[in-house]
Amino acid sequence: MARTKDPAIRLRLIERAAQMLRAREPITLRSVVADTGLSTMAVYTYFGSMDGLWRAMRQEGFTRLAARLAAVAPSADPVRDLAALGAAYVSNALAHPDLYRVMFDSGFDLEDPAAADEGLLHFVRAVERAREAGRFPGGTDAPALATRTWIVGHGLASLTAAGPLPREALSAGPALLTAVFVDAGDDPVQCGRSVAEGWTL
Q: How far apart are CB 165 and a second copy at their closest, in Å?
A: 7
Of 43-51, 101-109, 144-152, 158-166, which segment contacts DNA by CB under 7 A? 43-51
Are 87 and 201 within 8 A, CB to CB?
Answer: yes
x/- track of binding to a second copy for residues 92-121 (CB under 8 A): ---------x--xx-xx----x--x-----
Residue closer to a second copy by CB (options 68, 148) is 148
196: contact with a second copy by CB under 8 A: no
Partner touching 101 among DNA, a second copy, none, CB below 5 to 8 Å by kind: a second copy
Interacting span for a second copy (CB under 8 A) from 66-74, 77-85, 127-135, 159-167? 159-167
- Please pick, from the candidates 15, 51, 105, 109, the single residue that binds DNA as defined by CB under 7 A: 51
Shortest reach from residue 6's CB to a second copy, in Å:
32
Query: Is residue 19 part of the contact set for DNA (CB under 7 A)?
Result: no
Task: Tell me how far apart the alpha carbons of residues 56 and 46 are, in angstroms, rounded to a whole number.
Answer: 10
Tell which one of 132, 169, 200, 201 touches a second copy (CB under 8 A).
Answer: 169
C-alpha distances (whole Å) from 95 to each of 103, 113, 143, 201 are: 14, 23, 27, 10
**Number of residues located near DNA, criterion CB under 7 A:** 25
Cβ proximity to a second copy: between 39 and 188 the closer is: 188
Q: What are the residues whose beta carbons fall under 8 Å from the beta carbon of 184, sequence distance 6 or more?
A: 136, 138, 140, 145
| Closer CB to a second copy, 75 or 158, in the complex | 158
**Binding flag, residue 58, a second copy (CB under 8 A):** no
Among 19, 45, 106, 171, binds DNA (CB under 7 A): 45
Measured in whole angstroms, the distance separating CA 125 from the mean position of its chain's CA atoms is: 16
Give the binding site for a second copy (CB under 8 A).
101, 104-105, 107-108, 113, 116, 140, 144, 147-148, 150-156, 158-159, 162-165, 169, 172, 175-176, 178-180, 182-183
